[in-house]
Amino acid sequence: MTAKHPPISPKLPALLHGGDYNPDQWLDRPDILAEDIRLMKLAGVNAVSVGIFAWSALEPEEGVFTFDWMDELLDRLAANGIFAWLATPSGARPAWMSEQYPEVLRVGANRVRNLHGMRHNHCYTSPVYRAKVQAMNTRLAERYANHPAVLGWHISNEFGGECHCDLCQDAFRTWLKGQYGSLEALNKAWWTSFWSHAYTSWSQVESPAPHGENMVHGQNLDWRRFVTAQTVDFYLHEAKFLKAANPELPCTANFMDWFYDLDYRVFAEAVDVISWDAYPTWHAAEDEKNVATWFAFNHDLFRSLKQKPFLLMESTPSLTNWQPISKLKKPGMHRLSSLQAVAHGSDSVMYFQWRKSRGSSEKFHGAVVDHAGHEHTRVFRDVAELGETLAALPELAGTMPRVETAILCDWDNRWAVNDAQGPRNGGLHYEQTVLQQYEALWQLGIPTDIVGSNDDLSGYKLLILPMAYLLRQETGAALDRFVQEGGTLVATYWTGIVDEHDLCHLGGFPGPLRETLGIWAEEIDGLYDHERNRLIVAASAEAASDSGGNGGNGGRDNGNSAAAANALAGEYEIRELCERIHLEGAEALGVYGDDFYAGMPALTVNRRGEGQAYYLAARVSDPAFYLAFYGKLIREAGIRPVLDTVLPEGVTAQLRSDGEHDFVFVLNFSGREAEVRLDDADYRDAETGEALSGKLELARYGARVLKRTARG
Ligand code: GLA
Ligand code: ZN
């Protein structure tokens, strides 16, 4: 049974609607500040984020604090029933600070210190910067932590980047000592006997540099882990002084889509609520599916990080100013894009930003209020309409999907697989491989979690492991247990190659999963872009595998469902990567069609304990394969799609439930009008209450939220 989570803030038990509000850019225009409140009410805004880059407005000179404008602002918001995420201003420093204390400025990997400027340009280690943050945050917290308008803390902004100053080098060495205990252990883990790289003193150890060490994979991995640790340590330093004044107020840090540089699974443990900033490049192609699935995947990732609803902290109400092409959202897309976030677990739709800046680099970035300054714009109307929709759906806050399927992706695997010089330096495509699996589940309307090796896997029926190149022994053991206990595991090529130090598993790949998968991967062939191979799945193999499945579809007839719509038997195109594998207990379901390994297994299944472990040895490029393959697996595992129906291409169905009612989101990213045949449950439109059955018509970019009695 899906339990409902309490609202993110008890002050506002509803979906949040609003965005970044920067009145510090308009302090000389009281008329505009008053007008903002009128417009916010018109747009159905109930929450804003304030003070994000306001350091120079809050401390114009060292030790001189000016909180009057913030006092007035928060009082005015409270008086008008609008709440605020109050930011700490550390995302950008005032010029006086950089001038007086150059150590606060970041040093690049090339060991050159940045000049003052930009934002996100500070050293996370600098004692001076930490002291300045402490002074500021302590004052903010003492003054505002119990203010009625304040929902919680928005700490800094989009943490990211790294610093290579001497202070950070020392911190890196200290962190390494904590990890390894001795130089001998570090030398072993980094395989420093190669190219005579052995260290004889800690002082010789440095961060990677373009003009120094950068090919020691274990070192690169540890540097990335350290950067995460140091960033999170800085975040916790900020939070400490906020929590001191009111431990109840939640703290968040706005994340970015599947951000490469920080391990968000580590960061997630430090924050109270996940929030993130989504800027889809809609209309880059006629078919919105690639963009839609990337953002769907990200929403699922951010929900999975804490297994709780998250906040969409920023999105643009129209266009951005930094993408290669700034497209206007076509009619319907604002609602579709916003409801997509809600469908996957967001309890908010927030924007960057409320009012367009008059000057500097973001003056043409989309905002709710245009330079024209009034509400009579297309964008304002879109936003106000969405405000009405969100206000009509307060029951959604705190609800979660029922999830039986997960994709496992670790950050350190991503770093390692991309760092290694290996089978295809001309495009290894790890992320695309992950998305290839995800897209099929999205199209089939299967709610999916995105999990890491340390997460509890026991609740899932199907677990997908795309290119798990870095795989720890203990993860292998956990996955084996998962299979033995009845789970279905799918692993792909280039899995189980190295351990946590990027040292190869000896004795045969896929290392810790060799027995579980019942195969030995002897070698991997990188294909040139123009080369192709084929996966051939015989009808008999499919039948054999069906009869060997564990439990069919639980007695439920979903014969007309998407899951059953595609038969697996057939031929599928392969590109880029082909492993030559040998059966060691597994059974071949498909074989290579071409090259000197034609006839060798390319798709296998190993029955083990109560479960089964599939291995896909080659990069099948044909989306039809993934639909058929995962369709078969979810049918056999008894996993129920959101709707028992075949969804048109580019249309997905997602779900949130409070245990009593299911909210079914039907989202049309096909770029055309579409029609979805509902299954035979009783549906109502969650916004209007209208009873629905039979065919559901979806406009181009249409999005509907349906309500039904919860399924068990
Ligand atoms: C990021 C930042 C915002 C703003 C937007 C523009 O998400 O957090 O301050 O610059 O980008 O899209
Ligand atoms: Zn530094």
Nearest alpha carbon, ligand 1 atom 4: 352
What CATH number does residue 662 fall under?
A: 2.60.40.1180
Examine the fold and report which residue of 598, 614, 637 is the final residue of a domain before the chain moves on.
Answer: 637
The residue whose CB lies within 8 Å of the most ligand 1 atoms, and thus the one to mutate among 119, 314, 361, is: 314
Regarding the beta carbon of 314 and ligand 1, being less than 6 Å apart is answered: yes
Q: How far apart are CA 623 and CA 617, in angstroms?
A: 16
Contact 44, 35 (CB under 8 A): no
For ligand 1, the distance from its centroid to the CA atom of residue 427, given in whole angstroms, is 29
Pairing of strands 405-408, 611-616: unpaired
Say if residue 326 is in the same domain as residue 302. yes
Residue 393: DSSP 8-state: -
What CATH number does residue 120 fall under?
A: 3.20.20.80
Residue 400 burial (10 A CB sphere; 0-12, 13-18, 19+): buried
What would the two tokens of residue 288 be?
């919105």
Residue 712: DSSP 8-state: -
Tell me if 646 is assigned to some domain: no
Regarding the beta carbon of 21 and ligand 1, being less than 6 Å apart is answered: no
In this structure, which ligand is nearest to the CA of 234?
2
Q: How far apart are CA 342 and CA 17, in angstroms?
A: 11
Q: Find tokens 């990677």 and name the residue.
A: 208
Say if residue 128 is in the same domain as residue 36. yes
Residue 621 burial (10 A CB sphere; 0-12, 13-18, 19+): middle
Pairing of strands 47-50, 83-87: parallel
Tell me if 453 is assigned to some domain: yes
Phi, psi angles (nearest 5°) of residue 382: -55, -45
For ligand 2, the distance from its centroid to the CA atom of residue 438, given in whole angstroms, is 38
Q: How far apart are CA 498 and CA 577, in angstroms?
A: 18
Buried b (16+ CB within 10 A) or exposed e, 570-592: bebbbbbbbbbbeeeebbbbbbb
What percentage of the chain's residues is helix, strand, coil (to nearest 5)?
A: 35, 20, 45
Tell me the residue type at 376. Answer: H
Atom of ligand 1 nearest to the CA of 254: 8
Q: Which of 486, 445, 482, 484 is CA-nearest to residue 465?
A: 482
Say if residue 144 is in the same domain as residue 241. yes
What would the two tokens of residue 536 be?
């051939």
Say if residue 552 is in the same domain as residue 451. yes
Edge-to-edge strand order for the sheet containing 311-314?
254-256, 275-277, 311-314
Tell me if 167 is assigned to some domain: no
For ligand 2, the distance from its centroid to the CA atom of residue 231, given in whole angstroms, is 11
Nearest alpha carbon, ligand 1 atom 5: 352
What pLDDT, on the 0 to 100 scale, is given for residue 287? 79
For residue 148, give the 3-state DSSP assignment.
coil
Atom of ligand 1 nearest to the CA of 279: 12
Examine the fold and report which residue of 357, 375, 396 is the final residue of a domain before the chain moves on.
Answer: 396
> CA 710 → CA 3, 93, 399, 535, 620, distances in Å?
12, 50, 12, 40, 37
What CATH number does residue 497 fall under?
A: 3.40.50.880
Regarding the beta carbon of 365 and ligand 1, being less than 6 Å apart is answered: yes
Tell me if 262 is assigned to some domain: yes
Note down the domain range covering 367. 16-162+233-396
Q: Which of 413, 155, 90, 410 is CA-nearest to residue 266?
A: 410
For ligand 1, the distance from its centroid to the CA atom of residue 479, given in whole angstroms, is 39
* Alpha-carbon dihedral sign for residues 225, 228, 231, 233: negative
Say if residue 373 is in the same domain as residue 476. no
Say if residue 388 is in the same domain as residue 522. no
What pLDDT, on the 0 to 100 scale, is given for residue 555? 33
Tell me the residue type at 432. Answer: Q
In this structure, which ligand is nearest to the CA of 275?
1
Pairing of strands 611-616, 601-608: antiparallel
What pLDDT, on the 0 to 100 scale, is given for residue 688? 95
Tell me if 3 is assigned to some domain: no
Residue 158 annotated in active site:
yes
Say if residue 572 is in the same domain as residue 696. no
For ligand 1, the distance from its centroid to the CA atom of residue 352, given in whole angstroms, is 6
Tell me the residue type at 670. Answer: S
Contact 121, 105 (CB under 8 A): yes
Q: Find tokens 């979903």 and name the residue.
A: 558
What pLDDT, on the 0 to 100 scale, is given for residue 544? 52
Residue 235 burial (10 A CB sphere; 0-12, 13-18, 19+): buried
Regarding the beta carbon of 352 and ligand 1, being less than 6 Å apart is answered: yes
Tell me if 217 is assigned to some domain: no
Contact 318, 17 (CB under 8 A): no
Residue 396: DSSP 8-state: G
Regarding the beta carbon of 281 and ligand 1, being less than 6 Å apart is answered: no
Tell me if 194 is assigned to some domain: no
Q: How far apart are CA 640 and CA 490, in angstroms?
A: 18
Q: What parts of the chain have a pLDDT lower than 50?
A: 547-564
Tell me the residue type at 293. Answer: T
For 340, half-sphere exposure in the C-beta direction (CA atoms, 13 angstrom radius) is 31
What would the two tokens of residue 240 be?
């400490």
Nearest alpha carbon, ligand 1 atom 12: 320
Say if residue 338 is in the same domain as residue 416. no
Strand blocks (E) in 633-679: 651-657, 661-668, 674-677
Q: Which residues contact 292 (CB under 8 A, 6 or more apart)?
A: 280, 340, 442, 650, 652, 667, 669
* Alpha-carbon dihedral sign for residues 199, 203, 209, 211: negative
Tell me if 373 is assigned to some domain: yes
Contact 18, 39 (CB under 8 A): no
Q: Where are the alpha helices (DSSP H) in 181-288?
A: 183-189, 217-245, 264-270
What pLDDT, on the 0 to 100 scale, is given for residue 112? 98
Examine the fold and report which residue of 364, 396, 428 is the final residue of a domain before the chain moves on.
Answer: 396
Contact 687, 705 (CB under 8 A): yes
Say if residue 387 is in the same domain as residue 416. no
Atom of ligand 1 nearest to the CA of 322: 12
Regarding the beta carbon of 312 and ligand 1, being less than 6 Å apart is answered: no
For 469, half-sphere exposure in the C-beta direction (CA atoms, 13 angstrom radius) is 24
Total domain count for the chain?
A: 3
For 288-344, give the secondary structure using H, E and C.
Answer: CHHHHHHHHHHHHHHHHHHCCCEEEEECCCCCCCCCCCCCCCCCCHHHHHHHHHHHC
For 25, half-sphere exposure in the C-beta direction (CA atoms, 13 angstrom radius) is 17
For residue 627, give the 3-state DSSP assignment.
helix
> CA 424 → CA 69, 250, 577, distances in Å?
56, 44, 8
Regarding the beta carbon of 158 and ligand 1, being less than 6 Å apart is answered: yes
For ligand 1, the distance from its centroid to the CA atom of residue 256, given in whole angstroms, is 10
CA angle 72, 73, 79 (to 5 degrees): 90
In this structure, which ligand is nearest to the CA of 157?
1
What pLDDT, on the 0 to 100 scale, is given for residue 563? 43
What would the two tokens of residue 67 be?
């909180």
For ligand 1, the distance from its centroid to the CA atom of residue 13, given in whole angstroms, is 27
- Tell me which of 59, 158, 395, 579 is the catalytic residue: 158
For ligand 1, the distance from its centroid to the CA atom of residue 353, given in whole angstroms, is 8
In this structure, which ligand is nearest to the CA of 106?
2
For ligand 1, the distance from its centroid to the CA atom of residue 657, given in whole angstroms, is 32
For ligand 1, the distance from its centroid to the CA atom of residue 321, given in whole angstroms, is 10
The residue whose CB lies within 8 Å of the most ligand 1 atoms, and thus the one to mutate among 352, 365, 368, is: 352
Nearest alpha carbon, ligand 1 atom 3: 352
Regarding the beta carbon of 277 and ligand 1, being less than 6 Å apart is answered: yes
Regarding the beta carbon of 356 and ligand 1, being less than 6 Å apart is answered: no
Regarding the beta carbon of 279 and ligand 1, being less than 6 Å apart is answered: yes
Q: Which of 183, 162, 158, 161 is CA-nearest to residue 171?
A: 162
Regarding the beta carbon of 320 and ligand 1, being less than 6 Å apart is answered: yes
CA angle 27, 28, 31 (to 5 degrees): 90
Atom of ligand 1 nearest to the CA of 53: 9
What would the two tokens of residue 614 be?
């599939």
The residue whose CB lies within 8 Å of the most ligand 1 atoms, and thus the one to mutate among 50, 277, 323, 368, is: 277
Q: Find tokens 């109050």 and name the residue.
A: 86
Regarding the beta carbon of 157 and ligand 1, being less than 6 Å apart is answered: yes
- Tell me which of 59, 213, 238, 314 is the catalytic residue: 314
In this structure, which ligand is nearest to the CA of 123?
2
Say if residue 629 is in the same domain as residue 658. no
Contact 96, 61 (CB under 8 A): yes
Residue 314 annotated in active site:
yes
Say if residue 320 is in the same domain as residue 423. no
Say if residue 358 is in the same domain as residue 420. no
Tell me the residue type at 324. Answer: P
The residue whose CB lies within 8 Å of the most ligand 1 atoms, and thus the one to mutate among 52, 326, 362, is: 362
What pLDDT, on the 0 to 100 scale, is given for residue 3? 76
